[in-house]
Amino acid sequence: MLIKLIKKGVVWAFVGLLFALAAGLSPARAEEAGRVKTITIAVDRYGPVDQQTRAVLQQQLAEAVKVLQAQANATRLIAKLIGPAVVHIEAEVLGRRALQHGAARPVEEAGSGILVQLDGKTCVFTNRHVIAGATPDKVRISLADGRIIQPLRIWSDPETDVAVMEVGVSDVITAPLGNSDEVEIGDFVLAFGSPFGLSHSVTFGIISGKGRRDLDLGDSNVRLQDFLQTDAAINPGNSGGPLVNLNGEVIGINTAIASSSGGNEGVGFAIPINTFLFTAKQLVEKGVVTRAFLGVTLDARFDYQAAQQAGLQQLVGTRVVTVTPDSPAAKAGLQPGDIILRMDGKLIENDAHLITLVNMSEVGKEVTLQVLRNGHIFDVKAVLVARPQNPSQG
């Protein structure tokens, strides 16, 4: 068989030589032309091979990459500015996962945080679930310069997953805070933290959503949700770390991921810094959070069909079921069946949205509510009061 193939190859080579001679080429030139043609076809699949064309492409690349290089320079600067203010947190708590034979054993929780100045104090912002149940002497904060410190005081709020720790150091870098109300979908952001214990990691992405509510956060009791969504990689250990805009300002605190595998799948959530600050300031100033109350029970089953029946072309707003007697809502004249469309100009997306807006408002604030009743839209004003111990909803 091998002899036959060799013979066949010789025959075809001889035929090729005859064609080359017929074309006026010497055998050597014919062989060279055939080889060059073969090489050119093979290499051209990946780009031009002649040096002149490649030189032009190299020049074009140098011009085009300037935009990307400017972006890379910006992210590098942000990392250098914010990195020194990012901390790694380890807390020793008694957890249900460690219950054995009726006795709770210590569990190590880990997360991230960011150093800030608040009310004249140097503090660390983080998530409550990172240090929940831990006393100050059971919390270790690793600074970027290698120092390990412990907090003087800890404040936390389970309804928002906010935690603030006062630290007794002043010779540290603190991060500037931005305005999360100005954040738009598509904005570039960087997420800082210690995923899987890899301290001072940085990832890059965009804001991919806003106003994310009704998230299932496992054992967490986070009732007031209004998360920013990002595709910047967030993994276990990133909790409590900052989400930063291109101005180098903290616009969110990373708090959760949506994942079926336990790792990053491109959907992470952060508490907007304005929401975080509303709670943090009260914790530091008063030790507790006082929330506002409107005095309505809302219809969680208000759907598109109900909205259409009320005369709305799309599903917006939330419907009032009951009004608490002598409440701000009652004094403003709200009635069962009213559909609240806006609060202080903000379009209400659903019942959870209005509940969050009310609870994140100052006690004593006068708010303007846009109401739909029997096909007519009008405004009413209500002065919010402190929330009672066991409110029905808003």
Quick: pLDDT tens for 240-263. 999 999 999 999 999 877 665 666
Measured CA to CA in angstroms, residue 234 lies from 262, 269, 394 at distances of 11, 8, 32
Round to whole Å and give the CA distance between 207 and 187. Answer: 5
The yes-or-no answer on residue 379 being catalytic is: no
Q: Say which amino acid occupies 383.
A: V
Q: Which long-range contacts link 54-59 to residues 24+ away (Cβ below 8 Å)?
A: none
Given this model, what pLDDT does residue 20 score? 47
Which uninterrupted H or E stretch holds 382? strand 376-383
Dihedral sign, Cα of residue 96, residue 161, residue 239, residue 231: positive
Given this model, what pLDDT does residue 109 score? 81
* Helices 2-22 and 27-44, packing angle to 10 deg: 100
Round to whole Å and give the CA distance between 108 and 197. Answer: 12
Counting beta carbons within 10 angstroms of the beta carbon of residue 358, is it exposed (0 to 12), middle (13 to 18) or buried (19 or more)? Answer: buried
Average pLDDT score, the chain: 84
Round to whole Å and give the CA distance between 390 and 372. Answer: 28
Residue 24: pLDDT over 90: no
The yes-or-no answer on residue 239 being catalytic is: yes
User: Among 112, 142, 208, 239, which one carries the catalytic annotation?
Assistant: 239
* Confidence band of 115 (pLDDT split at 50, 70, 90): very high
186 HSE (CA, 13 A, CB side) = 0
Residue 146: pLDDT over 80: yes
Round to whole Å and give the CA distance between 229 and 217. Answer: 14
Q: Average pLDDT for residues 120-146, to the nearest whole number?
A: 93
A 10 A CB-CB count for 254 gives 32
The yes-or-no answer on residue 376 being catalytic is: no
Round to whole Å and give the CA distance between 141 and 236. Answer: 17
How many Å separate Cα 77 from the centre of its chain? Answer: 20
Residue 104: pLDDT over 80: no
Task: Please state whether beta strands 148-149 and 139-142 pair in parallel, antiparallel, or not at all (unpaired).
Answer: antiparallel
Round to whole Å and give the CA distance between 258 and 248. Answer: 26
Q: Which of 133-142, 208-217, 239-248 has the lowest mean pLDDT?
A: 208-217
**Helical segments of 325-376, H only:** 328-332, 351-359
* Confidence band of 1 (pLDDT split at 50, 70, 90): very low
Given this model, what pLDDT does residue 214 score? 73
Largest CA distance in the chain: 109
Pick 33 or 236 by higher pLDDT.
236
Measured CA to CA in angstroms, residue 150 lies from 191, 283, 301 at distances of 24, 19, 47
User: What is the value of pTM for the model shown?
Assistant: 0.78
Per-residue pLDDT tens digits for 65-100: 888 888 889 999 999 999 999 999 999 877 655 444
User: Among 88, 157, 161, 338, which one carries the catalytic annotation?
Assistant: 161
Closest CA to 201 of 144, 124, 130: 144
User: Among 88, 129, 200, 353, which one carries the catalytic annotation?
Assistant: 129
Pick 49 or 200 by higher pLDDT.
200
* Confidence band of 133 (pLDDT split at 50, 70, 90): confident
Per-residue pLDDT tens digits for 297-347: 999 999 999 999 999 999 999 999 999 999 999 999 999 999 999 999 999
Closest CA to 82 of 211, 195, 250, 213: 250
